[in-house]
Amino acid sequence: QLQLQESGPGLVKPSETLSLTCTVSGGSISSSSYYWGWIRQPPGKGLEWIGSIYYSGSTYYNPSLKSRVTISVDTSKNQFSLKLSSVTAADTAVYYCARCITMVRGVILNWFDPWGQGTLVTVSS
């Protein structure tokens, strides 16, 4: 079945750029039925959608993070990536990648399933 796996540094210094990659296995990232997204969860807190990307490169970002976020896709490697610039301690969180069902009754971004296991990124000097 489809699996997603996040990878990247677990520690990032303040003001630097957080970079994570999500590798998709058991299915193609180039499916027309899905977007691919990043969601984060600060320790002990709730979930925040960061952004989503289609295999063609079309992106949607959360307006609260848009100025600092870049999501890209590499269909040859079946991967998509997240870059978050100018990080602070407030960006410390578990970062999840997930598949997002698209174009249900004309809605581009729908629910997320499945999710990767998540990776903790700590912002600290």
The nearest distance, CB 6 to another protein, in angstroms, is: 10
Residue 70 sits in the site that holds another protein (CB under 8 A): no
The nearest distance, CB 44 to another protein, in angstroms, is: 10
In the set 54, 55, 80, 112, which binds another protein (CB under 8 A)? Answer: 112
C-alpha 18/C-alpha 68 separation (Å) is: 10
C-alpha 34/C-alpha 28 separation (Å) is: 10
Residue 107 sits in the site that holds another protein (CB under 8 A): yes
Query: Kind of pairing, strands 79-84 and 3-7?
Result: unpaired
Q: List, in sequence order, every beta strand (DSSP E) within 11-106.
A: 11-12, 18-25, 34-41, 48-53, 59-61, 69-74, 79-84, 93-101
Two tokens at 81? 């990536």
Measured from the CB atom, the residue of 46 and 125 that comes closer to another protein is 46
Residue 115 sits in the site that holds another protein (CB under 8 A): yes
Question: How many angstroms from the chain centroid is the CA of residue 107?
Answer: 19
In the set 62, 86, 87, 123, which binds another protein (CB under 8 A)? Answer: 62
Residue 33 sits in the site that holds another protein (CB under 8 A): no
Look-up of token digits 């009754």: 105
Binding site for another protein (CB under 8 A): 46-49, 60, 62-64, 96, 98, 101, 104, 107, 109-118
